[in-house]
Amino acid sequence: MSNLPIPMTAEDFTPEWVTAALRSNGTLGDGSVTAVEATPVGEGAGFLGSLARLTLTYDRAGADAPATVVAKFPALVEVNRGLAVQYQVYQREARFFNEIKSTITAMPTPEAYYADVEEATGNGVILLEDLDGKLRVGDQLAGASAREAEQLMTQIADLHATWWGRAEEDTISWVPAFDGPVWAMTAQTLPSLWPTYQEERSHLLPPGMADIIERTWEGLIWLGQQLSRGPMTLVHGDYRMDNMFFPPSEGDPITIIDWQLMSRGRGPYDVAYFMSQSIDVELRREHERALVKRYHDGLLAGGVRDYSFDDCFEDYRLACLWCVMYPVAMGGGMAHNERAVQIAAEVSKRSFNTILDLDSVSVLPS
């Protein structure tokens, strides 16, 4: 940790602050940042934090000094920031870049020039490599194509296979598990957003869905326990299109950003999160089983043993039910601009239909 204060607004990224941050890890040598132009980016893409592109002017700088960086800092909306701190999301991502990123070869992610968290408040900041103009950002509203989904299943299987059964190793043992105290708070905090969702977005609820969601709230602790049965692995936690950058050439690795919800748990969690919220309903119905099979085949190719496809698919069904918390959270108070509201509605449709198609509620104990 450094002695730099955590910026709470884009205006807090002063030339002096950015100079000190870039010097802290050798990105910037003797030169100094003389001007910073901050431009908001990703409107509606981030619910737990703020994003700004910083265009930097130097008095002198080496060839490695970036012309622009993307700054991640605490959410401006108080309720979103409060949830982020409660769930340790700024701490998780800063520690990912400082402690875990170097161990991961199967999942491309941007370089971090600076990552820090303030222990007293839980607020954090990261300066990231700017991918604008290099790669195409995914679109949560448009959703993934079948080809994109296939590659994303292969990549997430590679990540999961790398950490399969190693969840207690020191490198990631601190990462919250789904049955631990951090995620256990969902049983209290998420249902509190449900009345607002019902009041403002009841038109999005298919027949019987309200009862399923209320049963899910009652079973959240149990679901977390099931998602934490061994063998656990490292899961990304926010595996969705807005967090994916696609290369110009099809088949090249897809770069994944945003590790704020990184957790330890059953691997199919990431598959369920992606499939139930980043793919059009009809496309998922057509390719669902084949995509989960592709993921399972990737686990086997990565050395995972004693984990059948049937077990994998059951974990997927269960995780889809857990993931209903996200559209309810977005639609129940965390969507604060037009695009976020649109995402909340689209993700609700996709998630609810997935749960109904799979009869996921039947996994709950009677």
Angle value at C-alpha 335, between 334 and 337, nearest 5 degrees:
145
Contacts made by residues 334-338, CB under 8 angstroms, sequence distance 24+: 334/47, 334/77, 334/79, 334/80, 334/83, 334/193, 335/44, 335/47, 336/77, 336/80, 337/43, 337/44, 338/44
The full DSSP string for 212-244 is HHHHHHHTHHHHHHHHTPSSPEEE-S--SGGGE
Q: Which residue matches tokens 């696609």? A: 246
When pLDDT is cut at 50, 70 and 90, the band that residue 208 belongs to is: very high
Rg (CA), the chain: 20
**Mean model confidence pLDDT for the chain:** 93
Please give the model's pTM, rounded to 2 decimal places.
0.93
Q: For the ranges 119-123, 275-279, 320-324, which has the lowest average pLDDT?
A: 119-123
Residue (of 32, 53, 34) closest to 43 by Cα position: 53
Rounded Cα–Cα distance for residues 312 and 72 (Å): 34
- Domains of the chain, with CATH numbers? 10-129 (3.30.200), 136-363 (3.90.1200.10)
- Condensed to tens digits (0 to 9), the pLDDT of residues 41-85 reads 866 445 688 999 999 999 988 888 999 999 999 998 887 898 889
Q: What pLDDT, on the 0 to 100 scale, is given for residue 44?
A: 44
Q: What pLDDT, on the 0 to 100 scale, is given for residue 76?
A: 87
Q: What pLDDT, on the 0 to 100 scale, is given for residue 77?
A: 83
Q: What pLDDT, on the 0 to 100 scale, is given for residue 2?
A: 63
Rounded Cα–Cα distance for residues 143 and 157 (Å): 20
**In the predicted structure, residue 190 carries a pLDDT above the cut 90:** no
Q: Per 3-state DSSP, what percentage of the chain is helix, strand, and coil (rounded to 5)?
A: 50, 15, 35
Rounded Cα–Cα distance for residues 8 and 13 (Å): 9
When pLDDT is cut at 50, 70 and 90, the band that residue 335 belongs to is: confident
Q: What pLDDT, on the 0 to 100 scale, is given for residue 48?
A: 81
How many residues in the chain?
Answer: 366
Rounded Cα–Cα distance for residues 303 and 161 (Å): 7
Rounded Cα–Cα distance for residues 316 and 4 (Å): 42
Contact 320, 272 (CB under 8 A): yes
Q: Positive or negative, the Cα torsion across 237, 241, 244, 247?
A: positive
